[in-house]
Structures are given as structure tokens and as C-alpha cells.
Amino acid sequence: MTPPVSVAQAVVPSAEAATPPAPSQPLSSALRPVPPPEVAPTSASTPSESPPALIQLPAPSGAPIDSRTALSADADSDLADRGRRILAVTVPRLAEQAQADASEALIMATTPEPQLNRQSLIDTTRASWRSERVYYVATDTPARARDLHDQARRAFASDRKADALDLELRAFAANPRNPDVAGFLAFLYLAQKPAQPETARQLALYALAISGAQRSARFDDWNTFAVASALTGRDLDARRAFMVELALSGDAERTCHAARRAYDVFGEPLRDSLEMVLYRLRSSRNVAACAWPTRMAAGPQ
């Protein structure tokens, strides 16, 4: 399964996150591939938990898709419309619950580093979220979704951002339970001109929710959530999400450069978040070489 990418990346990363990027690639991803989680309804034998929400995904126009056959060309042409309906109906509802689910980890991550227990934060993010218990009455076509996802990544690598967005939206409609697809779609909404940060923010939360216990390793989804939050004026969420990314990854240099690159791309809306990241890193002496960006140190131009 192909991993999502950081919002500050200029190229699509390779499948192996541990492989160092070539010098010509200024931005990189530190994620390892993560298999998509199984999303299933909560067992009725657990009386202490409320039953899972049931969301009926809007059906595409025309004849319904038969799960026993591959998508026809006509059905494929409807995927983008179906994806937009999912974005309008399902994603905002799930993202709202995921925001509440993430609040404990977001608050915990701002604890001063000497008192921050990283393992406790990891355990908190791995714990079950109410939003992940949502299941879908819909036909998923994972193979078609993977194919469209690969096409979208190639399109983005060729600097065809609009084509990449259309392809990934279709992949999302084909399999809305794939966190790699949802995470990359969130990134693509930030990469558009102009960016669409609110849609990206909701999709990043959605991707984290459906990742299940693997969300503790999906650093780039936390990064997308951080940047999109800053661009929508949610500065507190942005700062906290960067702190979650830093604590979960355990890679201070990676987080430092990701925050700096986000500032280089999006400018002043990221100033507060970058200042907090740099302050945390300098106070803990984790990254002595993580300098302030020149234009930031000089103040707004």
C-alpha cells in the first residue's frame, strides 16, 4: 500500500520511506507503508459502547455498481461525482467526530517535553476512536481504487495536479475506506491553486479515523491536518498537530524541516506553528541546526 505524503512535498515519495531522497528532490516523506485497517461495526455484545453510526454513501447516478464485476467505463465516469457527494455528506460528519476523538492526543502533545510520555501518546492515538466505528453500506472496489491511486501519483509527479486530483477523487469513491487514498486526496486539495484547506483538513481527520491503530504511524496525515488547520485559522489545532507529529515520529529533524517547508510554501499563516516547533526543538536541544527561515527572521515582507 502506497503511503500518503506530507503537504510540503514537491514530489511524490517512493514506496520505501527509509530510502534517502535524491538531492534534486527538496521535500521528502518519512512514512513507512501502512496497511489499511479493517473497519467493521462494533459488536452488539459490548453494552458499554454505543452502536456504530450507519452512513449510507450516496449512490452514483445511473445503474448501481455490481460488486461481483469490475467497474464498467460508464460506472467509472460517475466515480468523480460520487466522490464529491461523499465529500459533501460523509466526510464532514466523520471529521467532526474525529476532531473530538483526536483532542486528547492534541492536548497531551503540548506537554513540556521533560514531562511528555511518548509511549502514552502513542497508546492514546492507537486507542479506538468513535469515528472509526463508522461503516458503509456501499460497494468498494479496492483493485480499481489502487489503480486510480497509482495513476494519480504519476500525474502529480508529472506536475498535472488537476488530473491527479480528479483521479484520486475517483479512487476515493471506489474505496472510501483506504486511508492512503484519503490522505493523498487531502494533500492534493492543499496542492491545488488555490488551495482548499478546509476540505484538506476534513479529509486528513477522516484518513486518521479510518486508519485505526495505525494512526500513530501516519505522521504525514498529522502534518496535513496541522497545515490545513493553520490555513483555516485554527492556529491552536495547527500547533498541537505539529507537536503530535513530532512526538509520534520521534524524528525532530524531520518535523523541523517539514514545518519550515510548510512555511516556505504557505507563508505567514504557518508562522505561529513554526515558531512553536522551533522553540520546542531548541529548548530540548534536539536539532541544533534547525535554523529560522531567513525571511521569517527578517519579519513579514
Q: Provide the pLDDT for residue 48.
A: 39
SS3 237: helix
Beta carbons within 8 Å of 276's beta carbon, 6+ residues apart: 239, 242, 243
**Which candidate, 195, 244, 138, 149, places its Cα nearest to that of 8?**
195
SS3 131: helix
Q: Provide the pLDDT for residue 6.
A: 58
* Residue 40 main-chain phi, psi, to 5 deg: -135, 155
Is residue 194 reached through a cis peptide bond, with omega within 30 degrees of 0 on the bond before it?
Answer: yes
SS3 154: helix
Q: Provide the pLDDT for residue 80.
A: 85
SS3 136: strand
**Euclidean distance between CA atoms 219 and 157, whole angstroms:** 21
Low pLDDT (below 50) residues in the chain: 1, 9-73, 297-301
Q: Provide the pLDDT for residue 61.
A: 37
Predicted structure pTM score: 0.73
**Euclidean distance between CA atoms 104 and 208, whole angstroms:** 14
In terms of phi and psi (left: phi > 0; alpha: psi -120 to 50; beta: otherwise), the region of 59 is: beta
Assess contact for 133 and 52: CB atoms under 8 A: yes
Compute the residue count for the chain. 301
**Euclidean distance between CA atoms 278 and 288, whole angstroms:** 10
Q: Provide the pLDDT for residue 112.
A: 80
Assess contact for 176 and 170: CB atoms under 8 A: no
Q: Provide the pLDDT for residue 299.
A: 44
Beta carbons within 8 Å of 265's beta carbon, 6+ residues apart: 7, 8
CATH of 74-297 among 1.25.40.10, 3.40.640.10, 3.30.420.40, 3.40.50.300: 1.25.40.10
At 150, list the grid cell.
Answer: 497509482
**Which candidate, 255, 213, 242, 75, places its Cα nearest to that of 148?**
75
- The residues facing 54 across adjacent strands are 135
Q: Provide the pLDDT for residue 252.
A: 81
The beta strands (E) that lie in 91-151 are given as: 135-136
**H or E segment to which residue 77 belongs:** helix 73-77
At 107, list the grid cell.
Answer: 492536548
**Euclidean distance between CA atoms 123 and 125, whole angstroms:** 6
**Which candidate, 265, 276, 279, 221, places its Cα nearest to that of 102?**
221
Beta carbons within 8 Å of 78's beta carbon, 6+ residues apart: 60, 61, 62
SS3 71: coil
**Euclidean distance between CA atoms 172 and 268, whole angstroms:** 32
In terms of phi and psi (left: phi > 0; alpha: psi -120 to 50; beta: otherwise), the region of 209 is: alpha
